[in-house]
Chains A and B, each alone.
Chain A
């Protein structure tokens, strides 16, 4: 793998067409192994629009100090009506 940089440069020196060919081979190789386990998402804009519209996030965050305080981090946001799972993180 450490040879990849000089190898690519070498092919590029051999000409544009060869460089394109190498690029395609490498792309195919890497893309074949590119597996999206979690596609990911960002809800920040939706979140902003929601709070502008007066809708608060539906979260029960945990503040683990001592005997109680679960609602500490979620005052104003404690409407968990349909809990489905436990958050490990």
Chain B
């Protein structure tokens, strides 16, 4: 018997814990047994000093494994099986459609740069319908996400394409969403989307008015805050069944404001279908804001709880299979000229194109690389990492580039210390609840 590869022993302030990412068990133990378990990593014989019943409990919680790593290896294999099952067995055709790559904003962290600003034409629109119908024997339903650029700059194209899907698609539209900066969302557009049952809209607010206007700035230099807030309010009234997700792109310059806007808008839209969430900006070639380090990301959430008193934060890790459009067989991103891509961040980049709506798939090599060569299951290092069961594995595109182009992008979404901090925070919350 030996300590599992997925066990993390850690301690804080003379309190000792054993955490296992496979069983998701967190056990508080005495310092002696903690020390024995920790030392057993280098010499499993230390475990012999623990009573059998105790060892049995530790094995039950997957803290310990047999000498061949059977439990942890079996678990990992099952995760991979689920991943492949999802990747290849999904019966939904998921399309991200960009009616245009033009944008009215000039955000300093945007990864899209120097892309063509044309709008989709009717010929491409027709071919998209043919492309959808070519999946009639493989898929049952259709999902669409509209994005750009700013997709509402191509609203007329969205409307005409949706009309065609309604009348000519052989796959029923089960879900559709839009990612927009929200500036152009008029009452006319909202009423139209209400009529076609838009399910989901994502709009970004980057902080309080002054901070937001620094990053969510129009190309003309004009501010956008007031109009976006007003438009979100209008959307929640006119499309009450639509989930409005308000995203904040977190970086050094605005991280301290999220707590206050979260509280303000949660109250403002209390009885409406609105969710707010933070997302950290990751560095890219065009990024002009200062991004947070892994520890700063951890501290951000802990501060939200401690300083801002926001209760709705989940510090408990869960299993992450890891999936994205790049690793889903029936998922494609379609650019305004009809090119097909596997990753959102590839849109408009010709050598990342995997085909087009005229000819279908033309680059099976790139698809194969994405599908089975870009996830955490393809990495020997990840497979032996103690965080493997709870980690998404990072961005598949970046992993593929690290392997095929010798780039050196950081992939780990969080650190072991960050997970320890979260677990300890959760423990303290539980202890606080006991004394209350």
Contact = CB atoms under 8 A, between A and B. Distances in A.
Which of the four size classes fits the interface of chain B? 35 or more
Contact of A34 (B29, B282, B313): B29
B94 A85 contact: no
Secondary structure class of chain B's binding surface, majority of residues? mixed
Given A38-B24, A76-B331, A51 B89 contact: yes
Contacts of B25: 36, 38-40
A31 B54 contact: yes
B233 interface: no
A73 B280 contact: no
Contacts of A31: 53-54, 57
A43 B82 contact: no
Which residue, A30, A51, A62, has most C-beta atoms of chain B within 10 A?
A30
B24 A40 contact: yes
B345 interface: yes
A69 B313 contact: no
A10 to B, nearest CB: 12
A70 B86 contact: no
A66 to B, nearest CB: 3
Contact of B111 (A44, A66, A86): A66
Given A4-B36, A26-B51, A68 B317 contact: no
Contact of A61 (B92, B287, B310, B392): B392
A38 B92 CA distance: 35
A72 B344 contact: yes
Task: Tell me whether chain A's interface is mostly helix, strand or loop, or mixed.
Answer: loop
Nearest to A67: B110
Contacts of B92: 56, 76
B50 interface: yes
Contacts of A78: 143, 145, 175, 177, 199-200
A76 B328 contact: yes
Contact of A41 (B24, B48, B200): B24
Contacts of B107: 67
Contacts of A89: 315, 317, 390, 414, 418-419, 422
Interface of A: 1, 4-5, 7-8, 23-24, 26-27, 29-31, 33-44, 47-48, 51-52, 54, 56-57, 60-81, 83-89
Lowest 3 CB-CB distances: which A-B pairs, in order? A40-B25, A66-B111, A33-B30
Interface of B: 17, 19-20, 22-33, 35-36, 45-46, 48-54, 57, 61-62, 75, 78-79, 81-82, 85-86, 89-92, 94, 96, 107, 109-112, 143, 145, 147, 175, 177, 179, 199-200, 202, 204, 243, 245, 247, 249, 275, 277-282, 284, 287, 298, 301-302, 304, 310, 312-325, 328, 331, 343-345, 390, 392, 395, 414, 418-419, 422-423, 426-427, 430
12 contacts: A8-B48, A37-B17, A37-B28, A44-B79, A51-B82, A52-B85, A61-B324, A65-B345, A68-B179, A85-B313, A86-B304, A86-B313
